[in-house]
Structure 1
Amino acid sequence: MRLNEISYNDALPIDGYGTGFFRVGGERYDGALMVLPNGVSAWGGYDDSATILDAVDAIDVLFVGTGAEIAHLPKDFRTTLEDAGIGVEAMASPAACRTYNVLLSEGRRVAVALLPV
């Protein structure tokens, strides 16, 4: 098996998660979380699209972790982001963390908004 070292440059990977928390770049954050190219912040859930829209020039795709299970996103939330030119992909939070890290390691312009498991 061949192993490759992953480099995230200045971006912050998601190191882990547990019941009610996420670990990003070695720091623990409780509750819903947003990881954008300009940093980590609390996320107010589906009613909070303003913080994401502030980063519209820095991201192409937003992964939305819907908690322990995949769930549909509210239509208004999805439409607002897509109208701004941001692709939106909903998945369970563990899958969103993994997908975000993989694409981040490839240098993609991604962000993730996560509801805790």
Structure 2
Amino acid sequence: MQLHHEIPDFAFAFRSVGGSSAVLEDREQVRLRELDQSFIVTPTLLETWQAPATVAGLTLEHLAPVLDLKPELVILGVGSTQQFPPAKVMAECLSRGIGLEAMTNTAAARTFNLLASEGRNVAAAMLLAG
């Protein structure tokens, strides 16, 4: 049986993540990117994010940069411990037709990689403890 290595058609993928740092594979620049500040990532975009210190402090204004990207789903990485954003924030995302799923950073990274590999319009907003 012949095996073929398939190169994904998305630029960014998580290699490792914790509560205060993350390592992403940047396939366009063929290097690893180490991050220690909160960030937003899509399959084709990586940028820093002016996030609140805690999930409880999350507002729609904080999420505006990721919602402006119009993903079908936002994966919210909330750190090392499962937490949920204010109900008002979740409701507003749903009213815009954008799903918001909060999960630990490790679960968010796995979910992002899976959905990106399926070609889904997904964005992850990752809170990293400073």
C-alpha separation in 1, matches of 2:9 and 2:75: 20
Q: 2:118 corresponds to which letter in structure 1? A: E
Q: 2:65 corresponds to which letter in structure 1? A: T
Q: Which residue of 1 aligns with 2:89?
A: 77
Q: Structure 1-normalised TM-score?
A: 0.82
- RMSD of the alignment, in Å? 2.1
Identity between Structure 1 and Structure 2 (%): 29
Q: 1:97 corresponds to which letter in structure 2? A: A
Q: 1:53 corresponds to which letter in structure 2? A: L
Cα distance per residue 1:19-77 (max 9 Å; x no partner): 52211222112121111345111222323111012101xx2111111100110111232
> Aligned runs of 1:1-117 on 2, under 5 Å?
5=5, 7-18=7-18, 20-24=20-24, 25=26, 26-45=32-51, 46-47=58-59, 48-56=62-70, 59-116=71-128
C-alpha separation in 1, matches of 2:111 and 2:75: 8
- SS of residue paired to 2:12: coil
Q: Please list every run of at least 4 consecutive aligned residues from structure 1 whose deviation after the TM superposition is greater than 6 angstroms.
A: none
C-alpha separation in 1, matches of 2:115 and 2:44: 16
Contact persistence 2:18–2:106 (CA under 8 A):
no
Consecutive unaligned residues in structure 2, runs of 5 or more = 27-31, 52-57
Structure label with greater radius of gyration: 2
Deviates more, 1:83-92 or 1:18-27: 18-27
Change (3 A) 1:38 1:102: closer
